[in-house]
Amino acid sequence: MELGGQFGCRTPCVCKIEAPLSAALPAFLASAILCFSTCLPRGALATSNEAMRGSGVEIALSDLSSRKVACPADFYVPQKGRWDCIEISAQADNQRGRAVTAAGVFGRIRDVDGYPCLSTALDDRMQTSIASLGAIPKGVTPVKFIVAVDATAPRPLQLENFKASYSNAAIERQFAPFDRCELDPIGCALED
């Protein structure tokens, strides 16, 4: 059986499915998925460092890169488990053409095996903001932000579907670094 279509690619894709349609449905579907995955651009079914673009994306993040950094003293890291801090650099393209006071970052970070490893989004069903960019002017601007990832996650890490959305500056203060007393309230109280 031959199936075809464009599937988001620039060129059409035609696949000859070896398993007959009358075969068990899982065998047919597995054969179809394997065939069509070869037609898609590299990384289309896996993860991609490309920015998400489209009418619903307010600030596209492109040219993503990451590097391991020391966790800042005022940065929240979960107490259980081992965590590394990574700094993500990107180009923020404010596509709506107006300066904003704050923007929340959304995206996923996966280990080499495809498992989520971000401290604030260890479950694929979570759609939470993972960082704040602060004020973003019109046009393209270089940005950086820090996130915590599982230190035991196999590398290299894969950055997936990163974008930012306009937000209220008061709400984005939730990502402001903790002060000394927020990190150690008992020690702070003992000093007073």
| Cβ-count burial 128-163 (b if 16+ within 10 Å, e if not) | ebbbbbeebeeeeeebebbbbbbeebeeebbbbebb
Amino acid at 89: S
Using CA atoms, how far apart are residues 38 and 24, in angstroms rounded to an integer?
A: 22
The residue ranges of the chain whose pLDDT is under 50 are: 2-13, 15, 17, 19, 21, 23, 28-30, 33-53, 55
pLDDT at 65: 96
Average pLDDT for the chain:
76
At 1 the pLDDT is 52
In what order do the strands lie in the sheet containing 59-69? 131-132, 103-110, 158-166, 59-69, 83-94, 139-150
Determine the Cα–Cα distance for residues 178 and 112; give it in Å rounded to an integer: 31
CA distances from 142 to 31, 67, 90, 135 (A): 43, 16, 6, 12
Confidence at residue 126, expressed as pLDDT on a 0 to 100 scale: 76
pLDDT reported for residue 185? 87
- Burial of residue 87 (number of CB atoms within 10 Å: 0-12, 13-18, 19+): middle
Q: What is the pLDDT of residues 97-149, one digit of tens each?
A: 788 888 999 999 999 999 999 998 888 887 888 998 888 999 999 999 999 99
pLDDT attached to residue 10: 36
